[in-house]
Amino acid sequence: MRLLRSVMPVAAVFLLAFSVSLFSFRAARGSDHQDSPTVVSNPLADVTDVFAIPDPHDASRVALVMNVRPLIPTGMTAGIALDPNVLYQFKIANAGVASGTFTENSVIQLTADTSGTGQKITLYGPAKPNEVGTKNTTVAKTGSFNFGKVSTLGHGQIKVFVGPRRDPFFFDLAQFFKIIPDRNYANQPSPPPATATSFRFATASQPIVLNGVNYGTAGSNGCAIARPHDLLAPYNLISIVVEMPKSMLAPPGGKPGVIGLWATTATPDGQAE
């Protein structure tokens, strides 16, 4: 761990973050930032995170969030919007998830009509998909709205927003890549050996207590002692947020129950475009 401290001072972390913004974002990937060559070549189709949250003021409503276009540096969001060649989808299984059936039977889809922040975005669904699987067409249109504006569709029941936001993900990504170098896009196809076996702890006296069990301190475990850093902190992205009554995600004729949720992007030829 002493070696690690000597080769990974805090300054180097800032340098790394800076280099990420300079060199085509090749060096970082977070929760799902830059996770395959295909999406690296089209960051507008790169889904970084998915969230499912109740409306904080109304438990009868749920908001689904899909974030795309990772690593937009601070102050650099101008002109960045959805890719008109990409179909953005939330896929939902709502019949039998609790007993092990995960087939999607509801979809929420979005497309944009043109490039740039003047684009109009169309929302489709939530509705039964035309096809189960990874090749999809759009379902019936619910309505259209402008990029960057909170809008209401579906007879006032669906709130939508697509626009620039701060990346909510937080992770000491630089250290993770030292622990598992394979996961860094920039290390492909021949990742180097690991150079760390520990995340960074600010002080040797930091206690490590897990679920009520005391594992000693960072120092007593030989952990790396250095300042941890959220690599995503200075970056923005594009958020897609759709909020609706939970009842819209209920199985046919049923009440809202357990759903399985995932997000996808797709293009007409299955390439990055």
Partner 1 sequence: MTTRYTIALGTAALVGIIIAGCTSSTSFSPAPPPSGNPGPPPGATSYKQIELLSRPAVKEAFEAFASHDATNRSEPYADPTLKSQIKSFALNFRSNATASTLQAVLYPNVMKVDLSQNTTTASYLGYETGGATGSKFGGRGLDDDVIDISLGALFGNTLSALGLIPDDHKEAPCLTTDNVAYDKSNTQTFPYVQAPL
Residues numbered 206-235 forming contacts with partner 1, rule: CB under 8 A:
206, 208-213, 215-216, 218, 221-224, 228-230, 233-235
Compose the 26-45 pattern: x for residues touching partner 1 by CB under 8 A, - for all others: ---xxxx--xxxxx-----x
**100 is a site residue for partner 1 (CB under 8 A):** yes
Residues numbered 117-136 forming contacts with partner 1, rule: CB under 8 A:
127-136
Binder of partner 1 out of 87, 110, 112, 158 (CB under 8 A): 87
Binder of partner 1 out of 20, 145, 153, 164 (CB under 8 A): 164
Q: What is the dihedral of CA 112, 262, 272, 135, to 10 degrees?
A: -90
Binder of partner 1 out of 20, 105, 121, 147 (CB under 8 A): 105
Q: Which two tokens stand for residue 241?
A: 């947020």
Note the residue count of the chain: 273
Closest separation in Å from C-beta 172 to partner 1: 4
Judged by beta carbon, residue 19 or residue 183, the one nearer partner 1 is 183
Pick from 39, 26, 29: nearest CA to 177? 29
Long-range contacts of 170-173 (CB under 8 A, 24+ apart): 170/230, 170/232, 170/233, 171/30, 171/31, 171/230, 171/231, 171/232, 172/199, 172/200, 172/228, 172/229, 172/230, 172/231, 173/28, 173/29, 173/30, 173/231, 173/232
Closest separation in Å from C-beta 215 to partner 1: 4
Judged by beta carbon, residue 23 or residue 132, the one nearer partner 1 is 132
**55 is a site residue for partner 1 (CB under 8 A):** yes
**79 is a site residue for partner 1 (CB under 8 A):** no
Closest separation in Å from C-beta 11 to partner 1: 18
Judged by beta carbon, residue 24 or residue 60, the one nearer partner 1 is 60
Closest separation in Å from C-beta 15 to partner 1: 18
- Residues 6 or more apart whose Cβ sits within 8 Å of residue 189: none
Give the whole-angstrom CA distance, residue 159 versus residue 179: 41
Considering only 11-19, 20-28, 115-123, 168-176, which stretch makes contact with partner 1 by CB under 8 A? 168-176
**155 is a site residue for partner 1 (CB under 8 A):** no
CA distances from 147 to 82, 100, 121, 219 (A): 9, 37, 7, 50
Pick from 144, 165, 19: nearest CA to 80? 165
Q: Would you say 224 and 198 are in contact if contact means Cβ atoms under 8 Å apart?
A: yes
Judged by beta carbon, residue 19 or residue 264, the one nearer partner 1 is 264
Binder of partner 1 out of 21, 141, 168, 204 (CB under 8 A): 168
